[in-house]
Amino acid sequence: MALQEKDHLEDHLAADRVAHGDHLTGTDINEHIGKVDFKMLVDEDKCTGCGLCEAFCPVEVFEMQEGNDGKRVPVAVGIEKCWGCETCTGQCPENALRLVGSADSSFLAGREKAQPLSQEKHDEYAEWASVLKDVLGLRWHVVGIHLLPKGAPVPDVPIPEERYRYCQSLMAARRGRSMMMPANRHACPDGTSILGLTPIPAKLASGELYILFHKLDSVEAAQRMVRERPMLEPRSIDATIVFPLDDAPVDPQVVAVIAKPEQVMWLCMAASYYTGHRFDFHASGYNAQCVETTLLPYSTGEPNISFGCYGCRASSDIGDEYMFMGIPVDMMPTVVKGLRELSKKAIPQSRDKIYLPPLKM
Ligand code: SF4
Ligand code: SF4
């Protein structure tokens, strides 16, 4: 996008920017979610001064200023607000930016520790995971999700050194990794605001960033998309915890399955095996893992499916052929029981294609 075009867009958006509400600030980052110590290195020889980094940064870290040889270059005047989301580095056409630094790891230290999960519960969750994996033939681990409420005792789950997007952490859990991420280990301020770890940055609340990404046609459409998605109360959650369900360190609240459409179909049938209930799934292609796979099952008690979104597909190794299902933990005994019943006849017969018409020879 040319600078002129960007300036015009910013003029237009300034009028629509959400001017009030509980928005993410530098104070939040330093006082409420643990300090982050980043440095932004700008290669002025490579930089053309296009301003895309300034435009795309969700928390307005940059200001374009005059550089050494008189050209405009970005200066990270608000680096204390940086999330390490790497949107700026990803958008820079010249690869002129490099982010270095780390986050304070003491945020949850000193808090009361949670009791370890009982062996009985651990084994029950492992049994659920085994039924889903064996009956469906899943490629990946079934994932358990726990949103740690503010002030709750902290379970013994490793906090990663690196920052991840929430969707990236789910994808890592499907490969067998457990991790607990307070807000300062998250790399996506959209996900953290949706999941109640922080307030939302003004640039996301206004819809502005979605327009820059060409993901929606108008500010009105972007604001509607933001308005219609559920969000937890800001600062009501202290950390997200994800883990392979076969080795759960804490009770899951939601179980996530990364699977092919045929496998998700059997999960839907298992969920309605005893009632015949048809589900009204809520999917949009925006905020797939935080909203559709996690928050909807968490807050409604109903399962939900998702086709993934721009963010999770752009930032993880998930294959194009995979989709997602979030199942509230209270529904898991029904799903597991229903799946066992379906495995006796319906699943093998369907996979054997018993209704294929005979071929004309
Ligand atoms: S990493 Fe993200 S938050 Fe930090 S300066 Fe770049 S775009 Fe802004
Ligand atoms: S650092 Fe990259 S994106 Fe930012 S102004 Fe320079 S060339 Fe453009």
In tens, the pLDDT along 196-246 reads: 998 888 888 888 888 998 989 999 999 999 888 899 999 999 999 999 999
Closest residue by Cα to residue 148 from 65, 230, 241, 256: 241
**Residue 55 pLDDT > 80:** yes
Query: Whose C-alpha lies nearest to ligand 2, atom 8?
Result: 50
Region of poorest pLDDT, from 23-27, 103-107, 343-347: 23-27
Ligand 1 atom closest to Cα of 91? 7
Please indicate, yes or no, whether residues 95 and 125 belong to a single structural domain of this protein.
no
Confidence of residue 109 (pLDDT cuts 50, 70, 90): confident
Output the CA torsion sign for 76, 312, 319, 91. Answer: negative
What confidence score (pLDDT) does residue 43 get? 94
Cross-strand partners of 220 = none
Our answer on whether the CB atom of 51 is closer than 6 Å to any ligand 2 atom is yes
pLDDT band at 27 (very low <50, low <70, confident <90, very high): low
Query: CA–CA separation, 355 vs 343, rounded Å?
Result: 18
85 lines ligand 1 (CB under 6 A): yes
Residue 339, pLDDT score: 98
The domain boundary, picked from 45, 73, 103, lies at 103
Single-letter code of the amino acid located at 126: A
- Model confidence at 85, pLDDT cuts 50, 70, 90, reads confident
Would you state the pLDDT for residue 184?
Answer: 85
Q: Residue 10 sits in a domain of what CATH number?
A: 3.30.70.20
- Ligand nearest the Cα of residue 71 is 2
Please identify which residue in the block is written with the tokens 């629509």. Answer: 16
Residue 131's pLDDT is 98
Distance CA 200, CA 207 (A): 11
- Is pLDDT at 36 greater than 80 in this prediction? no
Span 21-32, mean pLDDT?
57
pTM score of the predicted model: 0.88
Q: Does 14 share its domain with 81?
A: yes
Residue 44 pLDDT exceeds 70: yes
Measured in angstroms, how far is the CA atom of residue 89 from the centroid of ligand 1?
Answer: 8
Residues 125 and 268 in one domain: yes
Instruction: Report the nearest atom of ligand 2 relative to the CA of 52.
Output: 3
Are 251 and 333 members of one domain? yes
| Whole-number average pLDDT of the chain | 89
Within 10 Å of residue 313's Cβ, how many Cβ atoms? 17
Residue 95 CA: which ligand 2 atom is closest?
A: 2
Residue 356 placed within a domain: no
Choice from 94, 98, 212 to test ligand 2 binding pocket (greatest atom count within 8 A of CB) = 94
Is pLDDT above 80 for 29?
no
Given ligand 1 and candidates 81, 85, 203, which is best to mutate, with the most ligand atoms within 8 Å of its CB?
85
Q: Are 201 and 113 in contact (CB under 8 A)?
A: no
Q: Are 73 and 50 in contact (CB under 8 A)?
A: no
Looking at 9-13, 19-23, 206-210, 287-291, which range is the least confident one? 9-13
Is residue 302 in contact with ligand 1, taking CB distance under 6 Å?
no
Q: Give the mean pLDDT of 70-85.
A: 89
Report pLDDT for 170: 97
Domain assignment present for 231: yes
Q: Whose CA is nearest to atom 2 of ligand 2?
A: 92
pLDDT tier at 14 (50, 70, 90 boundaries)?
Answer: very low
Q: Cα(64)–Cα(209) distance, rounded to whole angstroms?
A: 18
Give the separation between CA 328 and CA 337, rounded to whole angstroms: 15
Ligand 1, atom 4, lies closest to the CA of 82
How many other CB atoms are there within 10 angstroms of residue 167's CB atom?
Answer: 26
Quote the pLDDT of residue 16: 40
Going from the C-alpha of 286 to that of each of 42, 68, 148, 299, the distances in angstroms are 31, 41, 24, 18
Average pLDDT score over residue span 46-51: 95
Pick 183 or 263 by higher pLDDT. 263
Tell me the per-residue pLDDT of 130-148, one tens digit each, with 9 for 90 and over.
999 999 999 999 999 999 9
User: Domain limits at 10?
Assistant: 3-103
182-221 per-residue burial string, b: 16 or more CB within 10 A, e: under 16: bbbbbbbbbbbbbbbbbbbbbbbbbbbbbbbeebbeebee
Ligand approaching nearest to the C-alpha of 72: 2
Chain CA centroid to CA 100, Å: 23
Q: Residues 225, 22: contact at Cβ < 8 Å?
A: no
Assign 126 a pLDDT band (cuts: 50, 70, 90): very high
Give me the phi and psi of 240, to 5 degrees please. Answer: -100, 140
Structure tokens at 22: 């509980």
**Domain closes at, from 54, 70, 103:** 103
The answer to whether residues 84 and 190 belong to one domain is no
172 in the same domain as 47: no
Whether residue 281 sits in one domain with residue 169: yes
Q: Whose CA is nearest to atom 8 of ligand 1?
A: 57
Please report whether residue 62 resides in a domain.
yes
Domain end point (choices 103, 133, 157)? 103
Please say if the pLDDT value at position 125 is more than 70. yes
Q: Are 52 and 192 in the same domain? A: no
pLDDT given for residue 4 in this prediction: 39
Ligand 2 and 343: CB distance under 6 A: no
Q: Indicate which atom in ligand 1 lies nearest the CA of residue 97.
A: 6
- C-alpha distances (whole Å) from 216 to each of 7, 188, 207, 284 are 19, 19, 9, 12
- 189 C-beta closer than 6 A to ligand 2: no
Q: Is 92 in the same domain as 130?
A: no
Q: How many domains does the chain have?
A: 2
Same domain? 47 vs 128 = no
Task: Name the DSSP class of 329.
Answer: G
